[in-house]
Amino acid sequence: MKIAGYLLDLDGTVYRGSLLTPGAAVALEVLRRRGRRIAFLSNKPLFSRRTYVEKLRSLGISAGEEEVVTSAAVLARNLAKEAPGAKVFALGEPPLLAELAAAGLTLTDDPDEVEYVV
Looking at the annotation, which residues are catalytic? Answer: 9, 11
SS3 label, residue 66? helix
DSSP string, 67-101: GEEEHHHHHHHHHHHHSTT-EEE--S-HHHHHHHH
85 in the Ramachandran plot: left (φ > 0), alpha (ψ -120 to 50) or beta?
left
